[in-house]
Amino acid sequence: MKRICTALICVVLLLNLSSCAFVDSISNQKEITRTFTAMNTVMQITVFNTSEGTNEEVLNAMVSRVEELEKLFDPNLSDSDVYKINNAKGVPAGKAATDADKIFLDEDTINILMAAGSNFDETGHAFDIKLMPVIELWGFDNGTYGVPEDTEIKNVLEIVEKSQLDIYSDEKYIVISEGTKVSLGGIAKGFLGDELLKIAREYKATALLSLGGNIVLCGDKSTDDTWSVGIKNPADTENLACSFKSKGNKSVVTSGAYERYFEYGGKTYHHIIDPKTGYPSDSDLLSVTVVGENGTNCDAWSTALFVMGKEKAVEFAKEHNSYDFIFITKDREILKTDGITDLKVEDEAFKIKSIPQ
């Protein structure tokens, strides 16, 4: 079976999916697509075939899992785990934790917090879910945007720097210091993608998932079974900067300043925060794409590498050669690692350069 299907980051995905409808020659099932809103973004799942049940069963299992995780991670739902964390009193400085300070959480929440913790270390603290108080100050948590005073940012950043989150994974609880709040916005969709890929594997299904800026290619790797993935042009988001070929069972995650921003006083303020300054990152990158089997890491890293900027991001890519990376820079370069094959530039303004790994 040969499949060439175009999976594009975000909006353009819809158009291209409709141009590759087919009835699978093995299972004789028609592909099935559902588009819905979850985790504050539009998601689309297309199941092409399965050898364990029907496409509809796979789709329903995936949508149920999305709903389960959304109920845990939505900071605005009063019985979610993230709400519980963000509204807990926390242990005051200099005080010892007591049993009353234990915040018991679902296993999924414990798992995502552990992944966030290891990526905090792996990225030299560029990825930090504890930035929530700063994110709130800018209004990126709920869309009430505004430019805070320098002193406000400094004060809140001090709270973030002192904040602490200790995970007791065996007993499934955490303890936080007073003032600690978390935002899973930079990692939740990657984690969700991994969970949905597990479902695809259980059902031996081929599926394409578009989860906001994240794409998950679920499907067996065979020699000519490749997907074609487009990366949005950050300078012209209606069009592509480039496209490339990928094998299945991988996540392709992109972060860019163009994804969420507001304008004030002639200046643009975007949603990816530099933990060192508390301001939107003044990055020399326009977008970062990470491709790999662990979508949770891809998601955390795409956010973090945007903050780190070109030089450090290139070093990081060299040190993580089981993943692939595409960096689109402000000076119109597309930097790509060797595992990105058949890269096609869709906008001649961009020049390709290789990152040796």
Q: Which residues contact 248 (CB under 8 A, 6 or more apart)?
A: 206, 217, 218, 219, 220, 221, 225, 227
How many residues bind ligand AMP (CB under 6 A)? The answer is 22
Interface pattern 307-346 for ligand AMP (x via CB under 6 A): x---------------------------------------
Interface mask toward Mg ion for 282-321; x: CB under 5 A: -----------------x--xx------------------
Compute the least distance from the CB of residue 323 to ligand AMP, in Å.
15
Which of the choices ligand AMP, Mg ion, none does residue 129 contact, using the CB cut-off of 5 to 8 A by kind? ligand AMP
Alpha-carbon distance 26 to 52, whole Å? Answer: 12
Compose the 111-130 pattern: x for residues touching ligand AMP by CB under 6 A, - for all others: ---------------xxxx-
Spell out, one character per residue from 188 to 217, where the chain touches ligand AMP: x when CB under 6 A holds, - when not: -------------------------x----
| Choice from 133, 186, 234, 248 touching Mg ion (CB under 5 A) | 186
| Residue in the shown chain whose Cβ atom is closest to ligand AMP | 185
- Binders of ligand AMP among residues 219 to 278 (CB under 6 A) are 255, 259-260, 271-273, 275
Report the partner that residue 219 touches, choosing among ligand AMP, Mg ion, none (CB closer than 5 to 8 A by kind): none
Question: Which option in ligand AMP, Mg ion, none does residue 135 bind, with CB closer than 5 to 8 A by kind?
Answer: ligand AMP
The entry of Mg ion, ligand AMP, none near residue 314 (CB within 5 to 8 angstroms by kind) is none
Long-range pairs, 19-28, Cβ under 8 A, ≥24: 22/48, 24/48, 24/49, 24/206, 25/1, 26/1, 26/51, 27/51
Residue number, 66 or 175, with CB nearest to Mg ion? 66
Give the binding site for ligand AMP (CB under 6 A). 126-129, 131, 135, 140, 183, 185-186, 213, 255, 259-260, 271-273, 275, 299, 302-303, 307
